[in-house]
A = this chain, B = another copy of it.
Amino acid sequence: MNLMYPETLPDEVRQSIAVQSIEAKTLLFQQGEQADYLYIITQGRLRLMRYLDDGKTVTFQIAQPGDGVAEVVLMADFYPCTAVAEVDSQVIAYPKQVILNSFRNYPDLTEHLIHILLRKIESLKFRLELRDIRAAHERVLQYLRQLAAPNSSVITVDRPFKDVAADLGITPETLSRALSRLEQDGAITRMQQYITLNDSPAA
């Protein structure tokens, strides 16, 4: 039973959900709206962000396929953040009542939901950990290490650097300089949108 694959769900649940396509740059939902659905991403990429008092925005998560979005509706009535598609995307919409009801009958589904939540917690923890690294170039390096697949050392950056910079909590200029420096130090090699990590012993 997997929330990403409706065909693995019990009929009762499957009949209540909807697959939804979202064009790049359009909103899935907006901060403050009435919240009746939670979503699982099946394709594309969504940016979750919140508006601060001063009008600036903070990105909480770049949600990828397999990630859940707005699970908080299970205990809140309004969306606490805004979700915007970075590229053409697809999600499955689950009415929150259906999920709450299924705890009773479908423990596997419950377990999967909990896994999704735990993964999100780990992701947030990692991003918080990053912010405690002061030096921009070291923060970038740590970020790249995490992005690299377990055995490979090649990272494909398939989204604008300025978005990456925002994730890291630095400006695009600083990111650019940090990458230059890392390349000059031999820690990484750049080729267009590909970055390879060189196994330098220390930072």
Interface residues of chain A, those whose CB is within 8 Å of chain B, are: 50, 52-54, 56, 58, 60, 71-72, 74-75, 80-81, 100, 103-104, 107, 110-111, 113-115, 117-122, 124-125, 127-129, 131-133, 169, 203
Question: In the complex the two chains form, is A121's CB within 8 Å of B72's CB?
Answer: yes
Question: In the complex the two chains form, is A125's CB within 8 Å of B60's CB?
Answer: yes
Question: In the complex the two chains form, is A74's CB within 8 Å of B114's CB?
Answer: yes
A52 to B202, CA, bound (A): 13
Q: A72-B118, A107-B103 are in contact. Are A131 and B129 (CB under 8 A)?
A: no
Task: List 6 tightest A-B contacts by C-beta distance, closest first.
Answer: A103-B107, A124-B124, A104-B107, A117-B117, A58-B132, A131-B131
Point out the residues of chain B lying under 8 angstroms from A103, CB to CB: 103, 107, 110-111, 114
Question: In the complex the two chains form, is A52's CB within 8 Å of B110's CB?
Answer: no
Q: Which of B56, B124, B127, B129 contacts A50 (CB 8 A)?
A: B129
A-B contact pairs, 7 of them (CB 8 A): A50-B129, A58-B128, A75-B114, A75-B119, A124-B124, A124-B125, A128-B128
